Amino acid sequence: MDLKKCSVWLFLPLVMSVFTAVGLWIVYFIAVEDNKIFPLDLDSRPPIKKPPYISIAGDEPPASCVFSQVMNMAAFLALVISVLRFIQLKPKTINPYLSVSGLVALCLTSFGMTLLGNFQLTNNEQIHNVGTSMTFGFGTLACWIQAILTFKINIKKEGRKAGIPRVILAAAITICVILYFILMSQKLHIHAPRVQWVLVMCFIAYFGTFAVEFRHCRFEIICIENQEHQEIFHSFSENLSDVCSEYQTDQV
């Protein structure tokens, strides 16, 4: 891959994935150091400490402050990626309903992230659980939709390059979701948090895969002043370059 010919937008999904993953692990280590949870590598549960679920790790300050900030930033970046991905696929989509469904699912996933990040488990368990369900429920659906779109549209003939990892990650996410609820129902609080962390890391990694297609595109915001000089509006250009114009071979 020639980085000189790649769009700078490829860094957006990568930054989102790295930032969110590092932020959540910081939350985990803060909670462990404060003796709020026991480490993931323990084979038996201590009688006093709580299990290392992500929601429990980010339940009390100072970890909860970092957790809220990380989830808010992750939700914002995920929303931006969702919109740009929709715009990228719009001119090429054969089935618009599938593309719109992917956008809606990703947007609801982003909203779920804000709920679980800002409503801690002990403060408002009901809203927190709703946010968790939205994040992983709609998130899993969005992963499968995007995997299907990757193969169908096949941008720059790289459908297999991006599609196969997405199918693997989507399958891993689905398996982890099912396994997580099974372990939770059996109250196996040693193994369930481990599955949850694997699930979250796979989900975060999925967003990073959008860098494959984003490196081919340039997204522009056009500022136009109206005739009365009273307002300025911002819009993505869809008529000239469909907001996402593919790089030519001689462009940097």
Q: Is 144 exposed, middle or buried (0-12, 13-18, 19+ CB in 10 A)?
A: middle
Instruction: State the DSSP code for 36.
Output: S
Q: Is residue 92 part of a domain?
A: yes
Cβ–Cβ < 8 Å for 145, 105: yes
Q: Is residue 239 part of a domain?
A: no
Cβ–Cβ < 8 Å for 116, 135: yes
Q: Is residue 129 part of a domain?
A: yes
| pLDDT given at position 226 | 64
Q: Is residue 51 part of a domain?
A: yes
Confidence (pTM): 0.85
Q: Is residue 229 part of a domain?
A: no
Amino acid letter for position 176: C
Q: Is residue 228 part of a domain?
A: no
Q: Is residue 226 part of a domain?
A: no
123-176: pLDDT as tens digits: 899 999 999 999 999 999 999 999 999 999 888 888 888 899 999 999 999 999
Q: Is residue 23 part of a domain?
A: yes
Residue 218 backbone dihedrals phi, psi, to 5 degrees: -120, 120
CA-to-CA distance for 110 and 106, rounded, in angstroms?
A: 6
User: Above 50 in pLDDT, residue 199?
Assistant: yes
13-50: pLDDT as tens digits: 999 999 999 999 999 999 999 999 999 998 877 877 89
- Mean pLDDT rounded to a whole number for the chain: 86
Domain ranges, residue 75: 8-219
Residue 74: name the closest of 105, 116, 126, 37 by CA.
116
Domain count, the chain: 1
User: Above 60 in pLDDT, residue 190?
Assistant: yes
